[in-house]
Amino acid sequence: MEKFSLTIHNKINCNEDLAWHREVKFVIHHNNATNECTNEMKLLFVSKKFVIINQISGLQGSNSISNQLLTYNKNHKFFNYPDCLQRNKLYYKFENDLYIDVDKEGFWTNEKINPKHFDNHVLNLFESKNLSVNAFILGVEVYLNINPHAIQLIGYHKEATLSNYYEAFTKLPLNDNEVNIQIGMQALKEANNKVASKIFKKLCEKKNENLKNLMHIHTPEEKVRAYLERNDVTYLGKNEFGEYIVEICKRTEGEVIYSNHQVGNICFNYLPVKTKNGKLMFSDNDNYLHHFSESKKCGEVVSEETFQNNFSYYEDKGDSFYEMFSNWIMKKLHLYDRTIKLGWWSFRLQKFKNVIIFFVVIICIILSIPTIYIGHKLGIFEAIFSICKWIHENVGEYYDIITDTLRCFNFKNLKKPEQVPLNEVNV
């Protein structure tokens, strides 16, 4: 199943003044399970702290994500490049295992426009024979701002098309005139910042509200689902950087559903389900399947009434030490790695309880014989006996004094003398 790492960031300052610029890049998603990458061309707003994936709507068959706010991964310098990423580019890692080679250091700090901010697949759609690099890139960006669908369409756009869009946007002709280019850059800068700031504020407030709701959630699994606003994910643990390891759930077809929560004579807290591939899994109240559920031996044969009410009868005597200990061990294994298939193991631990206890006792007896022999030869038992005797002789007297003193101050045990009625007094 598909996995990705997740960092839950702290509250964001939604009023921060950020400089944004436009880029058009492939957003690459790395699948940890298969070590494969998928990519999709996206319009981006980029700043030093955040990246916004800009929504493209109205395309038939498009599975593009709505406006999405991404935060640079603080450990991006230490992650191992997936094999599917190009080695001649500097990629930044974002949540959901997304990788993008954006220009984090800033676009408007340079006087010249950097053509690397636009993927060659996009630039090759436009004619540029009579324009300088700066004029051409500026014309392409203006065109994409007005007509963003162009990055998803196959076609070729002539230079006249860029000129028409540029003139409509800036009221100036698109040519190599440096003054016109500088005016166009300034107009584009203001337009990008205005649009990006508006989108950022909206996404930021939504993210902060989401973080506020997480304060009332205690389990990592519920926290991950609430943060991502997805119900099809589960929490597996954390990596060496403290990031959450998240797995996308997949539908599982069941072969047998034990609706009375009982397999054989073993009762489970969650609903047992035998899958078509033979695994025993357990469904919670939200229909999520798990590899572990607390179990114990049922108290009686399940009746038709309990079957209809979808529960099994548990003994009122409480769990035995064996049941508590075996459930504790299996739960620790499940928390360590939620992918370990513990279903049938937990079933067998309860089913063969007496056999397991018998062998454990036999092993303990066998191991105790050489232990007692070695302890006797080394004089360990004599030493323990001597220590206990010394404690009794030297501390026992003081212990009696202390207990007698405390007993004197225990006023609760002091009772008033009973008064005998006058008519019962023997004269």
pLDDT digits (tens, 9 = 90+) for 61-82: 344 447 888 888 776 555 677 8
Residue 75, pLDDT score:
62
295-297 sheet: strands from edge to edge:
262-263, 266-268, 295-297
Locus of tokens 């001649």? 88
| Distance set, CA 30 to CA 4, 39, 95, 97, 306 (Å) | 8, 9, 11, 6, 48
How far apart, in whole angstroms, are the C-alpha atoms of residue 349 and residue 295? 9
Answer whether residue 304 shows pLDDT above 70: no
Burial of 80 (0-12, 13-18, 19+ CB in 10 A): exposed
How far apart, in whole angstroms, are the C-alpha atoms of residue 79 and residue 85? 12
Answer whether residue 206 shows pLDDT above 60: yes
Mean pLDDT calculated for residue range 122-131: 80
Residue 112, pLDDT score:
61
Query: 59, 71, 61, 51: which is closest to 11 by C-alpha?
Result: 71
How far apart, in whole angstroms, are the C-alpha atoms of residue 229 and residue 250? 17
Residue 118, pLDDT score:
82
Average pLDDT of the chain to the nearest whole number: 78
Q: pLDDT (tens digit, 9 = 90+) per residue, 398-417?
A: 666 676 676 666 545 545 44
How far apart, in whole angstroms, are the C-alpha atoms of residue 297 and residue 265? 6
Q: Which residues contact 195 (CB under 8 A, 6 or more apart)?
A: 45
Residue 76, pLDDT score:
55
Sign of CA dihedral 223, 229, 234, 235: negative
Mean pLDDT calculated for residue range 175-202: 89
Lowest average pLDDT, out of 88-102, 112-126, 273-287, 347-361, goes to 112-126
Q: Hey, what are 357's tokens?
A: 């206890």
Query: 119, 117, 146, 142: which is closest to 131 by C-alpha?
Result: 142
Q: Across-strand partners of 163?
A: none
CB 91, CB 101: distance < 8 Å: yes
Q: Which is higher by pLDDT, 397 or 185? A: 185
Residue 154, pLDDT score:
52
| Distance set, CA 161 to CA 102, 126, 164, 179, 227 (Å) | 27, 9, 5, 21, 43
Q: pLDDT (tens digit, 9 = 90+) per residue, 315-335?
A: 445 568 888 888 888 888 887
Query: 192, 20, 36: which is closest to 103 by C-alpha?
Result: 20
Answer whether residue 160 shows pLDDT above 80: no
Q: Give residue 111's pLDDT band: very low, low, confident or very high (50, 70, 90).
A: low
Give residue limits of the domains in the chain: 3-212, 254-354
Q: Where would I find the beta strands (DSSP E) of 198-325?
A: 233-238, 244-248, 254-257, 262-263, 266-268, 271-275, 280-283, 289-290, 295-297
Mean pLDDT calculated for residue range 270-281: 88
How far apart, in whole angstroms, are the C-alpha atoms of residue 184 and residue 136? 12
pTM of the shown model: 0.60
Q: Give residue 7's pLDDT band: very low, low, confident or very high (50, 70, 90).
A: confident
Residue 237, pLDDT score:
81
Half-sphere exposure of 45 (CA within 13 A, CB side): 25
How many residues comprise the chain? 427
> What percentage of the chain exceeds 90 in pLDDT?
5
Answer whether residue 41 shows pLDDT above 70: yes
Q: Give residue 204's pLDDT band: very low, low, confident or very high (50, 70, 90).
A: very high
Answer whether residue 362 shows pLDDT above 90: yes
Q: pLDDT (tens digit, 9 = 90+) per residue, 220-274?
A: 888 888 888 777 788 888 877 778 888 887 777 788 888 888 888 889 988 999 8
Residue 110, pLDDT score:
52
